[in-house]
Structure 1
């Protein structure tokens, strides 16, 4: 009986705003007929609406939300207000002039240098977070123009802050120029900011190559403990193999490992990942002559998909650098961000047109171990666990949110941009909640009651969160 009295006392001291928050809505409703769906124990808010195709996002050191608005070609800044867990935009202003900025954004560790990209150039500015203004624009990297895949994602690794990583995709669905290193197409490179001269780097001829044969690796992130560089790839559309249409469920989207910039040796760094000749299998049964293939295996494109595959075979593709994980075809991953522990890799799947039944249009989590490697193996078809999705994909892309950029805040909540709907969402995880399909660690299960209580964030409590909290307490008592 004493145990139940103790639990009742704890329930009684839960902040009143937590209980109110479980049923109260925060901020505006999702645009139009969008109906988001959340995993149990998670909470969603709409923070901003009316933006012009918001893509890359980040938080500066003053807590302002910086957004690349692709529709206007600028970076905008938004102050953030919070009242009992309800987060909303205060004032908004443009940080940069219109420079056709379309996706990439980064900020130096001291918060004083802002980076952004157009399809042609990477720029930097001196940045003042108090006034949300920039000055002294510099052109850092150039010669990246092209059609089709025009995003140039940026990353400043914490383990190598003087190196700026830039991704560049293909110029068409099957880009034969990408087979030549000299083209600079479908490559990820790192550029030394300390050693640069007054002349901008030429992407094709300068920089340290982290990988090539990467069709369109948009999302890129550094693992916080290992320093490993990871990217997510959008693979090809309208594919055939031996004259058979295989495009519904092939090729797979990819999670790729690109090595390190922190001095750790990695023999495969800078290797060829196979594009434009090789692609990863998802639905093996749909592939003709699939006897030696499994999920994640690389197979060769044939002359039906490309005018000349230069006699590349499955044997050739088998010795190219493979993906580490694969995802359902056509989900279009556009961002990846690790949480502080490095055990959750959050991935924004934008969704794609090239499938009868739409897929993607969601944010999912991939489990990593403490060594910085994915928990699942290459043959897994369930590595991405869904957290935030559209309730019904049948109306996509017209009546769906389409996730693009991700940004963690200091509380561990994650902002999500949706370019199609012009919105920014905020996803919070209640204390005790877990990623679907991810087992609770033994360390978590043995936590003391005081640790459970100290981890409660009253600003993100939902009905499911309260239930998780109570279940955790009961689990500790019995």
Structure 2
């Protein structure tokens, strides 16, 4: 019981006022750990509990040491530039032993030998190259799965809103590809040499791994959609939650499959879609100017999303809790809607036994808000815009916000029943999001 008491004491870290005050769901709270960053994007922790984030604005990678008093009482002990490279823009990953660091740009993935104790890197190598797009979808998300720590997953988006050539696997655009770390450390390879985990994913910036080892992604649908000459883009297509199996299970139904882009998308609002042959939320359908002789039926023969979210809300990450019953998703927010939407952190319920979402694919209520802006009409310039998430060393959920140049820590307050010494008590205290 005494071990719990410190968590009820007053916060010891200084308060940093947020650029814009969010609203939290009951039981949730959060605070700014750090501000004044340069467009922070991806976020990871090393084996010593130090935080690493990629930054835009010509910065590169920042190394941050924390004072962690538990719960949301976290503050910065020290911060420094770890890697200076103006081309670094998003992706970052560590091997499980925290000795090899991977970072990406639009064109290239590099590795360094990493020393988390001293906050230094050395022995820079180019490991994957030739990923350049013409100016669209610059992020290259990286993930070293815990279930397959000898592999590196690299995401690459499309070259344009509707990239017709991405329908061909040889272009290596709008895909997830997998690389053996030992091989790319020995000699750099082109992105086209990786094994195809999935194709037909327009811009899948969010790549995450469930406790069961399954790879999940959140995909951003196309802009300015029309069907039968009618503009339906305000409410279609949906943003997708997709499943790709465990990467070494090549016999899995999802392995290497086509998820539909650039011809096929999933429905969010069926009522406004012309020639609606019983389309429902989450059903794949074909749009105008398809690159092949596709129909709704051919689209539905491809891989469908497990869940849908409102159009243009721009989910950019997914992180699961340890139990596997919640996946947290930050929605970066829209630019292609008359009424701004997104700009929030949400959670999705999963069945830890099956590893699948609790809600059916037709659900419109699967994403439950945890943290949001009170007035989205002020977005994107006067609100927080979440980007990526990371679990801290004591289990807290950390989140980057690029528009406000902040890093947040999110906590949840719960009642726990304590048993012992012949009596039962209820203790209210801060614990992490589990």
Query: Smaller-chain TM-score range?
Result: over 0.9
Mapping of residues 69-84 of structure 1, within 5 Å = 69-83=55-69
* 1:45-124 mapped onto 2 (5 Å cutoff): 45-83=31-69, 86-124=73-111
- SS of equivalent to 1:315: helix
Quick one: which of 365, 380, 388 aligns to 2:371? 388
Moved more, 252-261 or 193-202: 193-202
Question: Across the two proteins, how many residue pairs are aligned to each other?
Answer: 429
Structure 2 residue 324 is the aligned partner of structure 1 residue 337? no
Residue correspondence of structure 1 range 272-351 to structure 2 within 5 A: 272-303=258-289, 309-351=291-333
Which protein has the larger Cα radius of gyration, Structure 1 or Structure 2? Answer: 1
RMSD over aligned Cα atoms: 2.5
- The aligned residue for residue 265 of structure 1 is 251
Aligned to 2:200: 213
For 1:289 and 1:189, the matched residues in 2 are separated by 36
1:195 counterpart SS class: helix
The Cα shift of 1:292 comes to 2.4
Whole-angstrom CA distance in 1 between matches of 2:224 and 2:388: 26
Larger fraction in helix: 1
| Runs (4+) off by over 6 Å | 451-457
SS in 2 for 1:134: strand
Q: What is the distance in 2 between the residues matched to 1:457 and 1:176? A: 55
The worse-fitting range, judged by mean Cα deviation, of 253-262 and 399-408 is 253-262
Say which SS state the counterpart of residue 165 (structure 2) adopts: helix
Q: Is the 8 A contact 2:67 2:75 kept in 1?
A: yes
Q: 2:127 aligns with which of 140, 144, 155?
A: 140
Contact 2:45 2:393 in 1 (8 A): no
Distance apart, 1:72 and its partner CA: 2.3
* Counterpart contact for 2:22–2:372, Cα < 8 Å: yes
CA-to-aligned-CA distance 1:184-204 (integer Å, 9 cap, x gap): 110001001123464312112
Measured in 1, the distance between the counterparts of 2:116 and 2:328 equals: 27
Residue equivalent to 1:255: 241
Gap change, CA 1:38 and 1:137, over 3 Å in 2: same
Q: Does 1:166 align with 2:157?
A: no
> Per-residue deviation at 1:88?
1.3
| Gap regions ≥5 residues in structure 1 | 1-9, 433-443, 466-478
Deviations 1:272-293 (A, max 9, x none): 1110000100000011111221
Q: TM-score, normalised by structure 1?
A: 0.85
Q: Which has the higher strand share?
A: 2
| 1:282-319 deviation digits (Å, cap 9, x = unpaired) | 0000111112210000111113xxxx533321111111
